[in-house]
Amino acid sequence: MQRRLVLIFLAACLFGAEGPYDPKANPATDLKRAMERARQENKHVLLDVGGEWCSWCHRLDRFFAANAELLAFRESRFVFLKVNFSPENENKEFLAQYPKIEGYPHLIVLDCNGKLLRSQETDVLEEGKGYNLQRFNDFLKSWAPKR
C-alpha cells in the first residue's frame, strides 16, 4: 500500500494529477468507459469539469498532488475523469444533462450507472488560495461508495 501511495504521489507531481483538460476528448465516450471501470471496481465516477485556462483547476491538481493520502483515497473509490470546458469546446451537449455549473472547477459525482449523486461547487472546499484538506476529505468520504 505504501509503495502505491508513493507511485500515485510521484505521478501526480509529474503530470499534474491526471494531465490536462482535453478540448478534443469526447466526454460521452470517456464517461462510458469510466462507468464500465467503476462497475468492475465497485467505484463511483468523479467528474472534474474545468479547463486549462482555470487557475483554480490547476490549484486543484496541485492540491491532490500534495496530499498523497487524499489522492490515494480518491483513486481507491472513484474513477476520476476530467471534462473540458473552454472556448475551444464547452461540451454543452454533454454538460446539459447535469445541473447548471456556476464556477470552475466543478465536481460531479455519479454512481457506476451514471446516476447523478452530487453536483458540487468547489468554492465551499476552498481555503485561502487553495483547498481545505479536511473539507475535501469529508466530501470524498461522503460520496464514496460504501464497502
DSSP-derived secondary structure for 64-85? HHH-HHHHHHHHHHEEEEEEE-
CATH of the domain at 131: 3.40.30.10
Question: Can you give the pLDDT at residue 4?
Answer: 53
Residues 6+ apart with CB under 8 A from 83: 21, 25, 27, 30, 47, 48, 49, 50, 91, 94, 95
**pLDDT surpassing 70 at residue 82:** yes
Cα 147 to chain centroid distance, Å, stands at: 20
pLDDT tens digit sequence for 49-64: 999 999 999 999 999 9
| pTM for this predicted structure | 0.88
**pLDDT surpassing 90 at residue 142:** yes
User: How many domains does the chain divide into?
Assistant: 1
Q: Please, which pLDDT band fits residue 13 given cuts at 50, 70 and 90?
A: very low
Question: Can you give the pLDDT at residue 19?
Answer: 81
**pLDDT surpassing 50 at residue 10:** no
Full residue range of the structural domain in which residue 47 is found: 2-143
The β-bridge partners of 46 are 80, 109
**pLDDT surpassing 50 at residue 81:** yes
pLDDT tens digit sequence for 29-46: 999 999 999 999 999 999
CB 34 within 8 A of CB 112: no
